[in-house]
Structure formats: C-alpha cells, structure tokens
Amino acid sequence: MCPRLRLYTVLLVGFIFLGCGLAQGVDTTYRDPEGRFSLMIPTNWQLVPRETHLLLHDPDALIETYVLVVEGDDLSQGLAEAWRLIDPEFDLEVRELTQLPATDVEAAQQIVYNTERERLVIAFGRLFEGNIYAFLLDTPLDAYVTRQAQVGIIASSFDISAIEKGDLTGVEPQPFDEILAAELDRYVPEAMDRAGVPGAVVAVVQDGEIRYLRAFGVKELGLEDPMAVDTQMMIGSTGKSLTTFMMATMVDDGTMAWDTPAIDILPSFAVSDPELSRRITVQNLVCACTGVPRRDFELLFNANALGAEDIVRSLRDFQFFTDFGEAFQYSNQMVAAGGYIAAVAAGAQWGTLLPGYAAELQRRVLSPIGMLDTTVSSFSVRARGNYATPHGLDLYNQRSPIALEVERFVLPVAPAGGHWSTAQDMARYLITLLNHGVAPEGNRVVSRENLAVTWEPQVKASADVSYGLGWLVGEYQGVRYLSHGGNTSGFTSGLAFVPEKGIGALVLTNGRVTNFFNDHIIFRVFDRFFGEPVDDNDADFAFTLEQFAKSFAEVVDTLEGDIDPGVVAPYLGRFRNQALGMIDLTLENGALMVDIGESKAVLHRRVSIDGDVGYLVVDPPLTSFLFEFGVDETGEPAITLFSPPDYYRFTRW
C-alpha cells in the first residue's frame, strides 16, 4: 500500500469509526489548464469550473469538494484564504489542526472544523514551491459514509504536476539474503512493541521459495507460550481471495461461468431490486461494486442465531447506496453469498451451505496447495491445539485477551472472513499466486487465465487502488501489486505480492486492528527488496501510532462521572430492533450494563465535544459501541445505536 493511500485512509476514512458484468462506472482525469495539478473525477460526479476553484459534487449534489491553488508559504493562512474564495462568509472554528508527514512536499496539514454531528468539514493542504494546493470538503455525514471511497479518489488523485513519481518498472528486486533477514529479526519486535502487538508471524516469498518465516511474541499476553510459525490465527477478509480462487477453479471445469446469474444457480436468491436479482452474476457478488454497503453490526448482534442460509436471505432487505458498478462498497454478506452460491453450483443443498462451501474449498484449493492447517472450523482448531488467543482493543489503546467464542460472529459469513490459517500455509498460497496458479510442488491448481480474472480491477477504491475479485489491485512506484487485509475481533492479517517481480510478504497477528503494523512491515520489506529508503514508510508508521493514541485519548476525555440511576431508569429492561434483535439494559452495583446476547459490556456516560450525551462501551469486544437514549414517535423510551449511516433504533419489548 503506497504511503499516499495510507495517509488518506487515516484522514478521510478514519473519521467514521470495489467489468462487474453490469455497467461499470468510468472515472475520468482532469488536468489543470495551467499545468499545476491533475485529479480524477469519480463516476457520475460533476465537475464545475469556477473562476478561482473547481467544485466537484456527487450525483445527488450533497457532497461538495473544492480544489484550488493559492499562493503563500503559510498553510493555515492559505487554507483560510481558500475557504474565503469559496465562501466569503465562511467562519467555522477550527476543531483540530494536524501536521501531516510531508512526503515530497515542504509541509502538509489537515484542519477539521467545528460542526454539528451530522456534518463534516475538512481542509487538507500541501505546501510546494510557494503554492498551497488545497482540497476542501463540506458534506453531510451520511452522504460521506455512502460515498467515502469516491471522495478518497478525488483526494488521493490530487497530484502536483511538478512532483515526479517513483518508477520501479525496470528495477529487479535484490535477493532476500541474510542481511535483510537479520534486519527484519531486529526491527519486527521493536515495531511490535511500539504498536502494542502481542504476537506476530512474518513470511517473505521470492521466486517460488519461502525466504523468511519467523514468529515473534506470544500466543497470549500474560503467558509464556511463544508464537510459532505453525500457530493458527484467523485471517479475516484476507480469506476472501481463497473464495474467489475456489470460484476460478469452478469456472475452469465448467461448473459455472463468471457471468452466470446467481439466480440460475440458486432460484431463491434475491436482493431488494427485482431487476438486479435477475441480473447479478456470481462475479458481481464478489466485486465490491454492487452498491450494497457494509452491515457488520447485524453479524455481531446475531452471531449465535445466524446461519449461512440466513446470510443469503438477508440480502433481500439490503439497501443499495449507489448504482451498480458506480462506487466501491464493501459487503461481507455479498461475498459470503458468492461463496455459498458457488457451493450450490458444485452440488451443495440448501441447508448445508457452510459444510458445502468448506468441502469445496478443501477439495479445490487447500488440499491441492498443501494448506494443511487452513480451515473454517474452530472445532478442528481447538482439537489441533496450536492456536493463538485473540486480543481485543479498548479505548485506552490497550490490547487484552478475549474469549475465542467472540469470533463466532464471522462463521455465518465464512467465505468472506471466517478462515483460520498459519503463516506456513499462507506462504504456500503466496507461492501459488506468484506461480500464477501452480502449487509449490508443481501441480496446477487453477488456470492462469481465470486466476487473472480475479486480479482484474472492477471499481476504484482510491486513485491508485482498485478492487478486483477478493483483491485490492494497487500500484507500488509504477509496479502492480495485489493485497488484502483482514480483521476479526482479535486477529489481523495482511498479505501483498508483486506478480511481475516474483515477491510477496505476509504478516499475521493476534491483535485487533493492527493493520498499520502489518502494512508497515510488508512495505518495509518491499522497500528493502528494491533498495529504496524506508524513511517515508517509517514516518507514516510513527504518524499513525501518534494519531491512534491521540484519538483514543480524546474519546477517553469525553467520559464523565457516574451513571445517574434516575436518568437511566426509563431505559432499563429489554428493547428490540428488527435488524439487530434484542438488547437488555441493567443497573448492577451502580454500573450500567448492556447485554446483546452474544456479549455483555459496561456502558460509560460520554459527553461529546458538541454536548451530546451517550453511553459508550470502553472494553472489548464491543469497544466503541455508542448508545443514545431518547424517545420514539409515540414518546416512549427508545435507544439508538449510532453507526453512520445507519441508526439502529431499539424500542421497548
């Protein structure tokens, strides 16, 4: 992942907690007539040139982004001037000013302004040779959440023309030797300590061989059991590519085609739009380009009650945020349905979708590659006995062990993120990918042609990264790379490889949201392969750590005092939401408790910077769940779970 993508992921996405077969959107490039910059215009967005700036807005004209260049050498003053050129009466107060890592420029800065909760206003500026290149955003929060990838396309594509990009297309990677291995041995524990990672396993592959495979840290904090290279951990969404790999083998043998309508395989398949129900193909289910949004809360709240069939049925009620093929929208339920419907094509019956998927994955992918310890069965993991303990993350930025049962929520969407694996197995998988479908022992597992289909960009996720079929397809200094990361309640995985250069790396950890650590190690390895300096990568890592700590501290500062029994009394008892089910609120020895069935947690009173009162979960596995108390349309007590763009309202049951 290039530094610029990491930067915008932190800045834009971080404020909120990818031919698809049908018509695919087309992004176009705008080049400044004065030759100062260029940027991409997302699919169906409008660009309106004004005298002093460019206005770009979404199809619904809700999101306004502005791009302009102002002279000066003071970023704060330059961004203030930029807003005055847009709106002479602009008078929002600065909520937060952040100095950013200045890659290739003299300085970079972001400003977040004080607004009501439903609105987001940001300014981002870079100083280069006496000019300030400003990107300004003014948007309703709900609209931003539905199209944040498209906003990211504009921001991450805003290139200063005078800055040359790195180009490694003609550079061959050096051999991964003992010197590079020794440096990694030294550096990984240091980075783990800085990032609070309990345990990690790192693998590096080059030219069909595992060149590096090391374990660091422990399986569980507080115990002395060391992590091992064959320790099983969950890989989360990195497993999506195992599902699309399996689907590619099925296209190879004629079990189905990429353009087979899902309804032809499973006649009961349906989404909320009847026309799309007939048209959606098996490829569309795994392209992240249908417009179906992420709805993971419904997995967390219903884990013990949901099965594979429930996931497929649930798609009938899912709202489409954008037109089909227009924007990157990540849905675990859609990918899971793709894996299950593929299993039906291979002979699985309704009612046996999960075992049917597991059997096909084993027969077509895991056994042929030799991935002996990869599974979707937690029972087999427990029986084997060499697994890491998941570690959740609390709002004090500390990781601690959580029960293995907490990970149960991913089982209903197993094809999208319910896989257990080891670094040894995933390294064999990397070799197979770099061999274009040939396993380490030389047996072909999938055709080069259909594996390549999974690597084809389907929809842009940012300027330099698109989503394929279970893969992010990006550019590393002019060279194509493929990657994916994965998260569960207490595990994180990251995997990336450069097909044209024969190199790849992966990192597995037993910690919640350690993505910035995983990516940092992987791309530090790539930098070393090509003899590139690691300064920018290290600066991004340090910046991300700093921002994480700062954001957690800011949230903790909003926690205020004891619970007032009189205030919470009307909200004690059982409440229900149609999508999420039941919750129970109780007052136990002065502590306000919420029980969602699968987990129980303490709620802390929180007063936001805007004065909004809510009740926040501090500890894993429900960390950052925010409940607000109010009334429904009839004046009866109601509880709202705040999760933009959805507001799940619970009413008295």
Lowest-confidence segment of 242-251, 408-417, 601-610 by average pLDDT: 601-610
- 621 and 644 belong to one structural domain: yes
- 432 and 479 belong to one structural domain: yes
- 590 and 535 belong to one structural domain: no
Asked whether residue 47 is domain-assigned, the answer is yes
Asked whether residue 165 is domain-assigned, the answer is no
CATH of the domain at 621: 2.40.128
DSSP 83-114: HHHH-TT--PPEEEEEEEP-SSSSEEEEEEE-
Give the model's pLDDT for residue 612.
86
Residue 534's φ and ψ, nearest 5 degrees, are -100, 10
Asked whether residue 167 is domain-assigned, the answer is no
pLDDT band at 24 (very low <50, low <70, confident <90, very high): very low
**Structural domain count of the chain:** 3
pLDDT band at 173 (very low <50, low <70, confident <90, very high): very high
Asked whether residue 168 is domain-assigned, the answer is no
- 184 and 152 belong to one structural domain: no
Pairing of strands 46-49, 37-41: unpaired
3 state SS of 217: strand
Q: Which domain range does residue 147 map to?
A: 3-17+19-160
Give the model's pLDDT for residue 155.
95
Give the model's pLDDT for residue 499.
97
Q: Pick the residue with more confidence: 2 or 650?
A: 650
Residue 16, CA atoms < 13 Å, CB-side half-sphere: 23
Cα separation, 61 vs 79, whole angstroms: 23
Give per-residue pLDDT as tens, 343-372: 999 999 999 999 999 999 999 999 999 999
- Residue 373 near residue 232, CB atoms below 8 Å: yes
CATH of the domain at 479: 3.40.710.10
Q: Domain end: 511, 529, 551, which one?
A: 551
Instruction: Give Dmax (Cα) for the chain.
Output: 71
Give the model's pLDDT for residue 8.
35
Asked whether residue 556 is domain-assigned, the answer is no
- 615 and 547 belong to one structural domain: no
- 390 and 242 belong to one structural domain: yes
Give per-residue pLDDT as tens, 13-23: 332 222 333 33
Cα separation, 524 vs 531, whole angstroms: 10
Helices (H) and strands (E) in the chain, counts: 20, 30
Alpha helices in 282-422 (DSSP H): 297-302, 308-314, 332-345, 353-361, 367-369, 378-384, 414-417
- 347 and 452 belong to one structural domain: yes
- 610 and 490 belong to one structural domain: no
- 539 and 572 belong to one structural domain: no
Mean pLDDT, residues 489-508 taken together: 98
Which helix or strand (DSSP H or E) is residue 540 part of? helix 535-556
Give the model's pLDDT for residue 611.
84
Give per-residue pLDDT as tens, 74-113: 999 999 999 999 999 999 999 999 999 988 999 999 999 9
Q: Is the pLDDT of residue 198 over 80?
A: yes
DSSP 448-497: HHHHHHHTS--EESSSS-EE-SS-EEEEETTEEEEEEEEE-SS-EEEEEE
Q: C-alpha angle 93/97/103, rounded to 5°?
A: 145
Asked whether residue 9 is domain-assigned, the answer is yes
Give the model's pLDDT for residue 645.
63
Alpha-carbon dihedral angle through residues 151, 457, 295, 373, given to the nearest 10 degrees: -140
Asked whether residue 559 is domain-assigned, the answer is no
- Residue 299 near residue 306, CB atoms below 8 Å: yes
Peptide bond into 621 cis (omega under 30): yes
pLDDT band at 1 (very low <50, low <70, confident <90, very high): very low
Q: Domain end: 96, 125, 160, which one?
A: 160
Cα separation, 545 vs 227, whole angstroms: 24
Give the model's pLDDT for residue 345.
98
Residue 530, CA atoms < 13 Å, CB-side half-sphere: 24
Q: Please give the sequence-ordered ranges of beta strands (E in DSSP) within 156-208, or none if there are none.
A: 159-160, 199-206
- 344 and 476 belong to one structural domain: yes
Cα separation, 563 vs 404, whole angstroms: 31
Give the model's pLDDT for residue 294.
82
Cα separation, 22 vs 25, whole angstroms: 10
Contacts of 429 (CB under 8 A, 6+ apart): 242, 369, 371
Asked whether residue 169 is domain-assigned, the answer is no
- 136 and 275 belong to one structural domain: no
- 49 and 128 belong to one structural domain: yes
CATH of the domain at 31: 3.40.1000.10
Expressed in percent and rounded to 5, the helix, strand and coil fractions of the chain are 35, 30, 40
Which residue carries 């809700």 as its tokens?
Answer: 62
Average pLDDT of the chain?
92
pLDDT band at 597 (very low <50, low <70, confident <90, very high): confident
Q: Domain end: 134, 160, 186, which one?
A: 160
Q: Pick the residue with more confidence: 1 or 278?
A: 278
Nearest alpha carbon to residue 149 among 429, 458, 357, 432: 458
Give the model's pLDDT for residue 183.
96
